[in-house]
């Protein structure tokens, strides 16, 4: 059983690391804040003071941090993974970052004999805790095969999608759809509400036909009750839409709709709602139309 | 059992009329082209030469024709429904038209003692044939109750949504979502394809998470095989998006995304693809990006 | 010198009619409100009780009313122009309406021997009073030639653009640009303001280069002083953008930007600002960004 | 008279450097390609092998290179400006880059006693050669004052706009407007052409009213003759629109229109037209509508 390093014990990372412990892996952990490190240590993980130290102790290092610059710092910083890595190390980055950045980091790590897999996830904290995440993997296929057991401890749908960046690009495609669907659903719900319809009935009717989607089934009922706590934070969705923009630019793909969706999320953040659920984009459309989407009594 | 009139035996109307016959209703039919009238007559319907004649013979008249001016002509023309209607007639318009036009026609018919229900459907020709349409009803609730058996012969989910226009407005909300989801899905698939990913794998991964929707499940696999025959024609979707625009304007609801979606459908029609399925909007995004979304071998 | 009928003595129509009187034309006038009719009568015009009566007394009838349905009512209503017209009458419609409606009305009038010229104007009330309007004319060229003197009494740049609807289509093109320029200027000014720059300096710099435009020169300085009275009302601009949408649809021209501009104007009207100047679209962008564009002291 | 270093002898930089020589400045130059360096040397400049060498010889170093990473490399690279700079050096960066990057570089240079002014220009190669550029300056005001003579040798409108980044932000505002105006003008011209109007007449009419702008006056006539050579390259405009996106994100300013404009430019680059003039965005709209904007004979 491989010895694993784990860097980034946030809302997602902590339960993922716990699942690795449960699966019997030997774990060395590091995170910016002390609390979750102690929590994992109490469960049997070894605490390390830096990514360098984590890398020195592991055959596989997992990172899950906020954005591209964080991954770059953790990988290539003075006290970073490369500073401690032995040739042959596999680095699985499970953050959602730009595939362009992923490929740049992979290139640098390759010089040091380290193999980078990009493996962003979807499924939220619920999926992280239950070990049912979807994991989208890009990079060297042999390295992917070698890490199957590790992925299986954290997720359920584990898909190999191609060379370095392929996992991140797939995640970008996913975010185009999840954000876009929320936005078009919001326009529909706001039209329903301002027209005097009962949005709850409209949701029910629409969910029964070609408009059927996860957002209508899971999130629309919460919107009607004004339950907008995350789930997945709007600020992260906005960050991801900027990754989409960078990716689309790099690949030469015009995305006129996603461009507008991103500006709506920018408006949501200006409104100070970045910590609400991504579905709270509905409040931007509500503000434009001067109406609130609520179930009628 | 009520005697029913049926006007408009097109791709949707013909199978709907047949289901009414099967359910034992006494049917008088009229349509612009002779063929389907004869077909229904052979099954036991009475053929009429005009909407006026249909109305004269019926307690309930159903119309399902292409657009608002068609409904207006059928209702208020020289040989129209009002010319033949006895007071107390119920007119069920199952066309998809503007709720603004619906309310205008309802007002006129009311003067003549005719009650208009708006009852647009979703579910396509498949649902029309199987008698499993979703029917969204607006107008007088007592009239709706009086027509329950009739609706039950044609559809499965039958929902009363409120006063005149409420059915059409709900359909407009539905079209915002179906068109919008196709468009954002297209941006995702085109990004996947141009990035060198296998779109089939991406569809599979996305359909397993928060991007899950009818479009990914039912239409994306057809797109990957370039099966773009309708289903629901792009030209009708574009017509419906113009109804959305008129409705949103009347209600005072800004719809920045749907506005862009509509322009993409306008482009599709310029490209001569109005007779393809509504999901063929993907070809507009493909043209912008210079790539085709196909499953890899 | 021809005897002229004039229908519609609003903010634009009244000064235009006065200029015709000054030029020595024999004028019969009609308008919905009594005040301006009396005012013109005091200056020597003959007052009529209906468009029919106006038409009966004139060789040329000018109309300038709010929208397509108004022109249709004035032309084809029971007491309309056609009810009083002698064959050979020229009808000059100077309203801004849809070229699609224009061609429909022209077709009807032709049956009655009446020739319709579409001749929308730009230049605002200032231009109407000074007799310096730009006039964009479509329709029969001989009729246009026959009316040169009449146009010359009201405007300065008088351009014949082609067959029926050509004047209205040109006006639609004009409105695409005036509204679009206001909207992009607003994005620039809001970015400047929120970045802490002095918008007045930015306006000055931008007006000196390739961004130079009437909007920056004439309207931006007023915005900086929060002078948002019309000029040209935002509600009329929104009406015109809906004419653009109808025209673009009829001609098969996708307009992705103007579609978004229209939704921003829809938002402005929701905010209750339809009576402000069209340039007040800046307030919508200000609201999105949470900042106000003002000159620094 | 100060001794000046000049790095980046491209289409803009070379004529700017020549104007500095003409004005009597002592010039040390460096560029990636040898040709222009020799050309300047023949006119009396001293050739240097690296930014470091340029900085060592100068009191003021001017840079004008393509994008943020280029400025960063020239400033902070191993053979960069900071490697050769004496404390007190003023670095004038006349490239168009992100104000975010500008402030980051300014911070780094400050540590080394170097003062960065951001001073992007507009006016194109024509303005560069004639010494009539508009120069938008941000950074320390005393440094700006100290460089007045230098700016005067290259430009005509020289405006100090505020602290570090203010020049770049102003340039970003300018690019929002220039690109946006081209795009809305394109929609207007395409509608005119597809409607069968003579676009040349429409341009003339529109340029006489509230749509008047530099683009209509200078570029539209060239479009009508299909003269699409730059001027200012579309690929640079696209780069600048990405700077706008980064700036707007940093400042919290939603820009729904500019977002769509950028996607249209992305389409133009996919079409392989990045080396045409920025006004060739009209070809994207032409492709969407299936028509070409040309003057009628």
Quick: pLDDT tens for D246-288: 999 999 999 999 999 999 999 999 999 999 999 999 999 999 9
Instruction: Confirm if A103 and A140 have CB atoms less than 8 A apart.
Output: no
The whole-angstrom distance between C125's CA and the closest CA on chain A is: 31
For residue B22, give both structure tokens.
């099967």
Q: What are the CA-CA distances from residue B49 to residues A89, B9, B11, B31, B34 (Å)?
A: 82, 13, 20, 8, 10
Hey, are the CB atoms on C256 and B269 less than 8 Å from each other?
Answer: no
Which of B14, B18, B171, B273 is an active site residue?
A: B171
Are the CB atoms for A262 and A164 separated by under 8 Å? no
CA distance D259 to A249: 13
Q: Per-residue pLDDT for D1 more than 70? A: no
Residue D111 pLDDT > 70, yes or no?
yes
The number of C-beta contacts closer than 8 angstroms across A and C is 13
- How far off is chain D from A268, nearest CA to CA, in Å? 9
Q: How confident is the model at residue A2 (pLDDT cuts 50, 70, 90)?
A: confident
Q: What is the crossing angle of helices B13-22 and B34-42, to 10°?
A: 10
Q: Is residue D227's pLDDT more than 70?
A: yes
Contacts of C186 in chain A (CB under 8 A): none
pLDDT band at A1 (very low <50, low <70, confident <90, very high): low
Q: List the single residue in A252, A253, A262 with the smallest CB-CB distance to D259.
A: A262
DSSP 3-state helix, strand, coil percentages of chain D (rounded to 5)?
55, 15, 30
Better-scored residue on pLDDT, B196 or A1: B196
Using an 8 Å CB-CB cutoff, list chain B residues near C248.
266
Which residue in the set D260, D267, D289 is minimally distant from B270, CB to CB?
D289
The Cα–Cα gap between B160 and B145 comes to 9
Rg (CA), chain C: 20
Indicate the pairing of strand B60-63 with strand B3-7: parallel
CB of B183 less than 8 A from some CB of A: yes
Which among D187, D258, D288 is the top mutation candidate for probing chain B, defined by the most B β-carbons within 10 Å of its own β-carbon? D288
pLDDT in tens, A225-271: 999 999 899 999 999 999 999 999 999 999 999 999 999 999 999 99
Question: Would you please indicate which residues of C are annotated as catalytic (active-site) residues?
Answer: 171
Task: Confirm or reject contact between B245 and chain C (CB < 8 A).
Answer: yes
Can you say whether residue C113 is alpha, beta or left, with left for phi > 0 and alpha for psi between -120 and 50 degrees? left
Q: Which residues of C touch B267 (CB under 8 A)?
A: 254
User: What percent of chain D is modeled with pLDDT above 70?
Assistant: 100
Please report which confidence band the pLDDT of residue C1 belongs to, taking 50, 70 and 90 as the band edges: low
What is the phi-psi region of residue B91: left when phi exceeds 0, alpha when psi lies from -120 to 50, beta otherwise? Answer: beta
Is the Cβ–Cβ distance between A67 and A42 less than 8 Å?
A: no
Mean pLDDT of D156-173: 98
Stated as kind and residue range, the H or E segment containing D135 is strand D133-138
Q: How far apart are CA A1 and CA C220, in angstroms?
A: 69
Instruction: Enumerate the residues of chain B whose CB falls inside 8 A of the CB of residue D270.
Output: 288-290
Residue D120 has pLDDT above 90, yes or no: yes
**Nearest CA distance, D252 vs chain A (angstrom):** 6
Residue C296 has pLDDT above 90, yes or no: no
Residues in A closer than 8 angstroms to C288, CB to CB, are 267, 270
Cβ distance A187 to B264 less than 8 Å, yes or no, reads no
Q: Is C67 exposed, middle or buried (0-12, 13-18, 19+ CB in 10 A)?
A: middle
List of chains touching C (3+ CB pairs within 8 A)? A, B, D
Percent with pLDDT over 90 in chain D: 97
Q: Which chain C residues contact residue B260 at CB under 8 A?
A: 256, 259-260
Give the mean pLDDT of chain C.
Answer: 97
Test mutation, D120, D253, D265, chain C, max C CBs within 10 A:
D253
Given this model, what pLDDT does residue C249 score? 98
Per CB-CB distance under 8 Å, the chain A contacts of D255 are: 263, 266
Instruction: Mark C21-53 as b/e (b = at least 16 C-beta within 10 Å).
Output: bebebbbbbbbeeeebbebbeeeebbbbebbbb
Can you tell me the distance from the alpha carbon of D8 to that of D81, in angstroms, rounded to the nearest whole number? 13
* DSSP conformation letters of C187-233: HHHHHHHHTT--HHHHHHHHHTTTT-BHIIIIIHHHHHTT----SSB
What are the structure tokens assigned to D36, written together? 């222009």
Contact assignment for B260 to D256 by CB distance below 8 Å: no
In this prediction, residue A61 has a pLDDT band, given cuts at 50, 70 and 90, of: very high
Sign of CA dihedral D49, D50, D56, D58: positive
Spatial contact of D69 and D93, defined as CB atoms under 8 Å apart: no
A88 close to C (CB below 8 A): no
Q: Which residue of chain A has the CA closest to D268?
A: A254
Among the listed residues D14, D18, D171, D239, the single catalytic one is D171
Residues C94 and C39 sit within 8 Å (Cβ to Cβ): no
How far does the CA of residue C45 sit from the closest CA of chain D (Å)?
31
pLDDT digits (tens, 9 = 90+) for C13-48: 999 999 999 999 999 999 999 999 999 999 999 999
The pLDDT averaged over each successive group of 10 residues in chain B (297 residues) is 92 97 97 96 97 97 96 96 97 97 98 97 93 97 98 97 98 98 98 98 96 97 96 96 98 98 98 98 98 90
CA distance D254 to chain A (A): 5
Nearest CA in chain A to D250: A266
The answer, for D191 touching chain B at a CB cutoff of 8 Å, is: no
Strand partners, D26: D3
C289 touches chain A (CB under 8 A): yes
CB contact under 8 A, A260 and C256: no
| Under 8 Å between Cβ of C66 and C82 | no
Q: How far apart are CA D209 and CA D201, in angstroms?
A: 13
Shortest alpha-carbon distance between residue D54 and chain C (Å): 31
Instruction: Give the number of A-B residue pairs with CB atoms closer than 8 Å.
Output: 240
Average pLDDT rounded to a whole number, residues C195-206: 97
* Residue C70 Cα distances to C30, C32, C242, angstroms: 14, 11, 16
A289 has a chain C CB within 8 A of its CB: yes
pLDDT band at C2 (very low <50, low <70, confident <90, very high): confident
Residues 6+ apart with CB under 8 A from B297: none
CB C231 within 8 A of CB C124: yes
**Averaged pLDDT score across all residues of chain D:** 97
- pLDDT at site B116: 98
Task: Quickly count: other Cβ atoms within 10 Å of residue D276's Cβ.
Answer: 20
């Amino acid at each position: 059983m491989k010895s694993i390093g784990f860097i980034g014990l946030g809302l997602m990372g902590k339960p993922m690391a716990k699942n690795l412990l449960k699966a019997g892996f030997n774990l060395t952990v590091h995170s910016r804040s002390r609390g979750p490190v102690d929590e994992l240590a109490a469960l049997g993980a070894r605490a390390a003071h830096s990514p360098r130290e984590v890398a020195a102790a592991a055959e596989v290092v997992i990172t899950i941090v906020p954005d591209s610059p964080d991954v770059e710092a953790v990988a290539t910083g003075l006290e970073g993974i490369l500073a401690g890595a032995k040739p042959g190390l596999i680095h699985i980055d499970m953050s959602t970052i730009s595939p362009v950045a992923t490929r740049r980091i992979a290139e640098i790590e390759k010089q040091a004999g380290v193999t980078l897999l990009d493996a962003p996830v979807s499924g939220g904290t619920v999926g992280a805790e239950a070990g049912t995440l979807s994991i989208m993997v890009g990079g060297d296929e042999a390295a992917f095969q070698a890490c199957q057991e590790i992925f299986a401890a954290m997720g359920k749908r584990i898909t190999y999608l191609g060379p370095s960046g392929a996992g991140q690009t797939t995640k970008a495609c996913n975010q185009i759809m999840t954000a876009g669907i929320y936005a078009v659903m919001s326009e529909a719900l706001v039209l329903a509400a301002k027209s005097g319809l009962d949005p709850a009935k409209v949701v029910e009717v629409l969910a029964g036909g070609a408009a059927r989607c996860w957002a209508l089934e899971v999130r629309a009922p919460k919107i009607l009750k004004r339950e907008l706590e995350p789930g997945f934070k709007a600020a992260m969705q906005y960050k991801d839409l900027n990754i989409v923009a960078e990716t689309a630019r790099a690949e030469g793909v015009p995305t006129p709709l996603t461009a507008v969706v991103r500006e709506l999320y920018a408006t949501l953040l200006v409104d100070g709602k970045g910590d609400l659920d991504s579905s709270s984009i509905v409040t931007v459309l509500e503000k434009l139309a001067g109406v609130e989407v609520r179930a009628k009594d």
